[in-house]
Chains A and B, each alone.
Chain A
């Protein structure tokens, strides 16, 4: 039975087509399946809109720091997948046009996307990454807080 994990963190949503805010990196022994994404801002409310996307990559890149995925069930073992957080020194090798989800979000709104069982965003059992990109920022870049939940 699949085990559920959560990757939580925060980063400034500086617009970049090459450097992600956060990424989830799969391993050769597991296919992570992202089923829930929650994102909002803890900055003072303002009308700053941004465009985000989840893009596939074939490498992990060099993250500024690592995030240890937390098991939703405390009885589950450590996650096999890993996660990296901005600011990336070297971006992951992104797959062109391989956007799995794109959305626009106002800073004032809390965004959530979830998938029904069987329709999750799947990563192959190889060192591939799923990268949360901030592609366009209208206004000022602000701190974004996110939670990415997946099963493996």
Chain B
């Protein structure tokens, strides 16, 4: 696994118009990242990847393509659920 040049891994990436993040190699931006509104993951859009991403009309953003992210569970709701469950667990064990 020895690419001819360091940025070879990102030659098929798509530069997004409204990027949410950027990947920079040796001072040169080589790719854009978009953030999934449901899980919060950043992904790189690649030409011909075949990844089917869902566009969530409630959140107004494309998802990362994972099946778990097809249903609209916004990241904020997931965070609150984890925090609430953590608080319940701690209170049940007397912490």
A residues near B (Cβ < 8 Å) are 28, 31, 47, 49, 97-101, 103-106, 108-116, 119, 121-122, 124-128, 138-139
Contact = CB atoms under 8 A, between A and B. Distances in A.
Contacts of B93: none
Contact-residue size bin, chain B (C-beta under 8 Å from the other chain): 20 to 34
A119 B20 contact: yes
B79 interface: yes
B86 A113 contact: no
A105 B23 CA distance: 11
B72 interface: no
B63 to A, nearest CB: 14
Contacts of B85: 126
28 contacts: A31-B79, A49-B3, A98-B39, A99-B41, A101-B41, A101-B42, A106-B2, A106-B3, A108-B6, A109-B7, A110-B26, A110-B27, A111-B25, A113-B24, A114-B21, A114-B24, A116-B19, A116-B21, A119-B20, A121-B42, A122-B40, A124-B79, A125-B79, A125-B86, A126-B82, A127-B86, A138-B2, A139-B2
Contacts of B3: 47, 49, 106
Contact of A112 (B2, B20, B24): B24
Interface of B: 1-3, 6-7, 9, 19-27, 33, 35, 39-42, 66, 68, 75, 78-79, 82-83, 85-87, 90
Contacts of B21: 113-116, 119
